[in-house]
Amino acid sequence: MTDTRVISTWTEFTRNSAIYLLFTFVTIKVFKFLFCNSRTSEMSSFSMATHPEALRRERILNSRLYFDVPLSKVSIIYSSAYDISFMGIEKLHPFDSTKWGRVCKFLVSDGFLEEKSIVEPLEASKTDLLVVHSENYLNSLKSSATVARIAEVPPVAFFPNFLVQQKVLYPFRKQVGGTILAAKLATERGWAINIGGGFHHCTAERGDLDAHQGNGHETDLGDDNRVYILDMYNPGIYPLDYSARRFIDQKVEVASGTTTEEYLRKLDEALEVASRNFQPELVIYNAGTDILDGDPLGLLKISPDGVTSRDEKVFRFAREKNIPLVMLTSGGYMKLSARVIADSIENLSRQGLIQTRPE
């Protein structure tokens, strides 16, 4: 069985991110079930309709998301389809919906990455999403009004749903596919970065409109003893989900105004404690940038260099313990975020913790 450590830096997309959040747990749970069940396992003869767990297993084993990636590609996953452009209405929300593409452009223009070496993921299909979400929930997204409410972008309600599917939901289904593929790549190569994903507020049955605490995965995975959740978050801001907090294995609360030095000290202590409490087979690192000083929702005072140090510490922790690590870029509400993420990835490359050029 696969043990998974979730390190959430309480970062998350935004209220608009709720759309992103819709598909979150596919990214963790699909991977978990795949590696809990060999592709060579024979399906039992009983009725799939009668045994939902068998049906779930069948969906996972038949998924196209886990394709083999050639060595000519590096373990960085991105698609231009991640970026959202929808007649300008994406600008009604503070989240930078072109952040992912700008991160990759910085990496390419700085000479750290070649476009041809980036891995293009597949879109998570409805069958993939049904591994976690219910049919009723997915069908509810066929209503543009429902999507508009979840995204907190009211004009979305007035568009035909086929446009909403194409312009709003499709990009996030691609990012889900990217996270699932990143988990496979990490187990094969030691690390992988999805320049997207990290929708840690969504649960199996609803789109969640909160900000930073990773209450989505806490709610869905809290009773799974194969999963250890380390959540580093600001307890004084939205979502204030006290019910979900009881599922956190290791709480690291960082109050509004926390400085870089204090934040990094708490991170060092947290990683040391976690290493004594759990021996995972995979780390899923939700590396959002709403910890940055000046972020209007995060309310911390972490410098760009502090974000770089944070990421390096987490990668070194995983490297020293020989644990595969998946990094997801998650939230952050400042235009500066894309540059900060790119700088951090470049530092990981310079430190020899990742390889951004094919062997």
Beta bridge partners of 193: 76, 327
Q: How many residues belong to the chain?
A: 359
Residues 6+ apart with CB under 8 A from 1: 36, 226
CA distance 144 to 155: 9
Active site residue 93: no
SS3 label, residue 239:
coil
**Which strands sit side by side in the sheet containing 4-8, from one edge to the other?**
76-77, 191-194, 325-328, 282-286, 4-8, 227-233, 250-253
Treating both helix axes as pointing N-terminal to C-terminal, what angle do 304-320 and 260-277 enclose, rounded to 10 degrees?
20
Asked if 4 and 28 touch (Cβ cutoff 8 Å), the reply is yes
SS3 content of the chain, % helix, strand, coil (to 5): 45, 10, 45
- Which of 199, 194, 228, 232 shows the shortest CA–CA distance to 216? 199
CA distance 248 to 230: 7
Name the token pair of 170. Answer: 């499709």
Q: Hey, CA dihedral for 23, 247, 249, 279, is it positive or negative?
A: negative
Cis peptide before 324 (omega within 30 of 0): no
Residue keyed to tokens 């709480």: 251
> Could you say which of 133, 201, 212, 217 is catalytic?
201
Question: Among all residues, which ones are annotated catalytic?
Answer: 201
